[in-house]
């Protein structure tokens, strides 16, 4: 019974966060679309700071129609997935974050870029991913070894999902992109203008 009450409270927090984000979206984007520079400002990300690359990859993943803007429907759909989606859907969204050129594969450079962005964005936070003290290159090699089942040096979506589901360490590395809500909320708390 106490557990049910905790779950309800957690959902209320999520709803409150969504309501706050809606209000902020309407205030910041009366035109109904969000551009990359506005997206960064919206979440309190320094345009040239360590979290900038990570924010750009999140923006690209939210922009489902590829028009370089996020309308409210894309925004809500992405947040719904982030807050309520099942693991496979979150992994599919995460894959889009990693696949920077949208060619259907994550190559070593894309993987290195995202892992580096995540390391930089989380440096010194409670969600610091460098707990195992692996360098970015070591983490990339370990992920490729665990996930790239055909050995071609690229990870397709099926390998990405299967690898994450089979290896808890890989899932832990990839799930940082699966639930950016904690990152978003942390950035909002640190932002002086939210």
Q: How many CA atoms lie within 13 A of 39 on its CB side?
A: 24
pTM: 0.69
Sign of CA dihedral 172, 178, 180, 181: negative
Q: Where in the chain is the domain with CATH 1.10.238.10?
A: 2-84+183-190, 87-179
Q: Identify the residue with better confidence: 73 or 183.
A: 73
CATH architecture of 2-84+183-190: Orthogonal Bundle (1.10)
Q: What is the pLDDT of residue 137?
A: 94
CA distance 23 to 69: 18
Scan for tokens 């090699």, then name that residue.
Answer: 141
> Residues 162, 89: contact at Cβ < 8 Å?
no
Q: How far is CA 125 from the centre of its chain?
A: 16
Mean pLDDT is highest, among 13-17, 24-28, 131-135, for 24-28
Give the residue among 69, 60, 80 at the shortest CA–CA distance from 33: 69
Classify residue 46 by its DSSP letter. Answer: -
DSSP lists the bridge partners of residue 71 as 33
Q: Minimum mean pLDDT among 23-27, 31-35, 154-158: which range? A: 23-27
Q: Is 175 exposed, middle or buried (0-12, 13-18, 19+ CB in 10 A)?
A: middle
pLDDT > 90: what percent of the chain?
25
How far apart (Å, rounded) are the C-alpha atoms in residues 170 and 173? 5
Interval 76-89 mean pLDDT: 76
Instruction: Please check whether residue 70 is in contact with residue 62, taking contact to mean a CB–CB distance below 8 angstroms.
Output: yes
The whole-number average pLDDT for the span 91-105 is: 88
Count of residues making up the chain = 194
pLDDT (0 to 100) of residue 188: 53
Architecture of domain 87-179: Orthogonal Bundle (1.10)
By DSSP bridging, strand 33-34 and strand 70-71 are: antiparallel
Q: How far apart are CA 38 and CA 70, in angstroms?
A: 10
């Amino acid at each position: 019974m106490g557990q049910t009450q905790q779950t309800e409270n957690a959902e209320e927090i999520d709803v409150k966060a969504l309501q706050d984000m809606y209000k902020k979206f309407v205030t910041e984007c009366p035109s109904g679309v969000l551009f990359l520079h506005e997206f960064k400002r919206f979440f309190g990300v320094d345009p040239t700071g360590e979290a900038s690359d990570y924010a750009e990859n999140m923006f690209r993943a939210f922009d489902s129609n590829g028009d370089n803007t996020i309308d409210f429907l894309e925004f809500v759909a992405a947040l719904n997935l982030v807050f309520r989606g099942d693991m496979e859907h979150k992994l599919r969204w995460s894959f889009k974050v990693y696949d920077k050129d949208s060619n259907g594969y994550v190559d070593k450079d894309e993987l290195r870029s995202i892992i580096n962005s995540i390391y930089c964005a989380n440096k010194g936070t409670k969600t610091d991913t460098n707990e195992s003290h692996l360098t970015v290159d070591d983490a990339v090699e370990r992920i490729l070894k665990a996930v790239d089942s055909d050995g071609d040096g690229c990870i397709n979506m099926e390998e990405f999902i299967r690898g994450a589901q089979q290896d808890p360490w890989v899932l832990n590395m990839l799930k940082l992109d699966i639930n950016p809500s904690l990152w978003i909320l942390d950035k909002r708390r640190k932002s002086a203008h939210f």
